[in-house]
Amino acid sequence: MRKGSTIYLIIIVIVIGAIIIFAGNFRPSKLEENVEPTENVAEETENVTVPEEEEKEEREETPVEIHGKLSVEGTDIIDENGEKFQLKGISTHGLQWFPQYVNQEAFIYMRDNWGINAIRLAMYSNPNDGYKTELHQIVKNGVQYAKNAGIYAIIDWHILNDGNPNINKESAKNFFMEMANLYKDEENVIYEICNEPNGDVQWLRDIKPYAEEMIGEIRKIDDDAIIVVGTPTWSQDVDVVAQNPITGYDNIMYALHFYSATHKDYLRQKLTTALNSGLPVFVTEFGICDASGNGNLDIEEADKWIEFLNSHNISWMNWNLSNKNESSAILKNTEKTTGWTESELSESGKWLVEALKK
């Protein structure tokens, strides 16, 4: 019995030892299976979500995200929060000549580095100046790039050498009907229906009837976007318009253009008269050279203009985004279409960047 008991005990010890060894070898592998997926999921979650959260924290809201749909109240532009708002930016040159500057990178660069909140897209209206319907696509591209960048887009029917807006009225009507159908639900689009009426053109006889017809066509489609109307004498006679403005529509503004080496205090007096009459004015184009877009600069007078405009919450768009060999072009000695250094800016360009910071 003793011997048998001993053998029996030995067998029991061996079995128990085997079980312990087996259990010891088994548990780590199970723990490994349980732990590794948890660690991997945590690692993958960290890799996916943390950068997104950091990006959201660092990303600043765009002008359109902050201010939304704009409207006109009295002489002011106001944002969707009911606060006064001032548009500041730059106009392209003619899209038929300088389409390369209508690109996504340029709009974002100017927004982030210069502080623009708007871009003006200059579609020349005269076939003799290169107008053709194929150019509409560049405008559409520009509006989309502006939307992506969160800035406002001014669609400019750029009357100049055609003088009287009624000359190409049917083309204008087709153009704005096309644009309004595309952008009636967008927050960032403004229509400028006649850049600079000039020559033998009068407000009551020529411009106002054209504007009323064009506004009526746009309002059939887009009932609340801001519409800017040009004024006589290359958009200078806002005092004349103030005596008999367009009625029956909301969110209508009137253009005033100046070039500081030519247009001085007498034109600011016209603007003051218009403002005192309650006329909402938008400076959709200006330069700091003479009225030809070339010649010497008058920075002292330009500073007076900007101080006046800023103090009266008047929006302004500088002319022009190009490397054309003229004083008003903001670029020089470069073919780059974005990311410009200070040395690639003209004197007008350097002044503009500083004016935007004010």
Domain's final residue, options 38, 59, 80: 59
Domain's final residue, options 21, 37, 59: 59
Using DSSP, state whether 315 is helix, strand or coil: coil
Given a contact cutoff of 8 angstroms between Cβ atoms, the answer to whether 227 and 218 are in contact is: yes
User: Is pLDDT larger for residue 28 or for residue 13?
Assistant: 13
Whether 215 maps to a domain, the answer reads yes
Confidence at 358, pLDDT banded by 50, 70, 90: confident
Residues 24 and 138 grouped into a single domain: no
Residues 298 and 162 grouped into a single domain: yes
Residues 100 and 171 grouped into a single domain: yes
Can you give the residue range of the structural domain that contains 6? 1-59
Residues 28 and 140 grouped into a single domain: no
Confidence at 59, pLDDT banded by 50, 70, 90: low
Rounded distance between C-alpha atoms, residue 151 and residue 153, angstroms: 7
Rounded distance between C-alpha atoms, residue 108 and residue 115, angstroms: 10
- Is 335 one of the annotated active-site residues of the chain? no
The CA-atom distances, in angstroms, between 90 and each of 144, 181, 297 are 17, 25, 18
Whether 28 maps to a domain, the answer reads yes
Residues 101 and 23 grouped into a single domain: no
Given a contact cutoff of 8 angstroms between Cβ atoms, the answer to whether 223 and 180 are in contact is: no
Residues 85 and 53 grouped into a single domain: no
Q: Which of 4-8, 68-72, 171-175 has the lowest mean pLDDT?
A: 4-8
- Find all residues with CB under 8 Å of 60, minimum gap 6, and list them: none
Q: Which of 4-18, 27-41, 310-324 has the lowest mean pLDDT?
A: 27-41
What pLDDT score was predicted for residue 39?
Answer: 34
* Ramachandran angles phi, psi of 325, nearest 5°: -80, 70
Q: What is the mean pLDDT of the chain?
A: 88
Q: Hunting for tokens 């022009």 — which residue is that? A: 320
Whether 291 maps to a domain, the answer reads yes
What pLDDT score was predicted for residue 69?
Answer: 98
Residues 106 and 44 grouped into a single domain: no
Rounded distance between C-alpha atoms, residue 300 and residue 332, angstroms: 22
One-letter amino acid identity for 240? V
Residues 53 and 133 grouped into a single domain: no
Across 12-33, average pLDDT: 38
Question: Of 83, 192, 196, 217, which one is the catalytic site residue?
Answer: 196
State the total domains in the chain: 2
Rounded distance between C-alpha atoms, residue 246 and residue 234, angstroms: 19
What pLDDT score was predicted for residue 144?
Answer: 98
Whether 64 maps to a domain, the answer reads no
Find residue 71's DSSP bridge partners: 78
Confidence at 354, pLDDT banded by 50, 70, 90: very high
Whether 353 maps to a domain, the answer reads yes
Domain's final residue, options 59, 78, 96: 59
Residues 136 and 175 grouped into a single domain: yes
- Is 217 one of the annotated active-site residues of the chain? no
Residues 194 and 237 grouped into a single domain: yes
pTM of model > 0.75: yes
Residues 50 and 92 grouped into a single domain: no
Diameter of the chain by CA atoms? 135
Question: Of 285, 301, 307, 354, which one is the catalytic site residue?
Answer: 285
The CA-atom distances, in angstroms, between 333 and each of 289, 330, 340 are 19, 11, 11
Given a contact cutoff of 8 angstroms between Cβ atoms, the answer to whether 123 and 157 are in contact is: yes
Domain CATH number, residue 291:
3.20.20.80
Tell me: pLDDT of 81 over 70: yes
Q: Hunting for tokens 């644009």 — which residue is that? A: 179
pLDDT tens string 219-271: 999 999 999 999 999 999 999 999 999 999 999 999 999 999 999 999 999 99
Across 72-77, average pLDDT: 98
Q: Identify the CA nearest to 92 among candidates 207, 192, 18.
A: 192
Residues 51 and 79 grouped into a single domain: no
Whether 38 maps to a domain, the answer reads yes
Tell me: pLDDT of 4 over 90: no
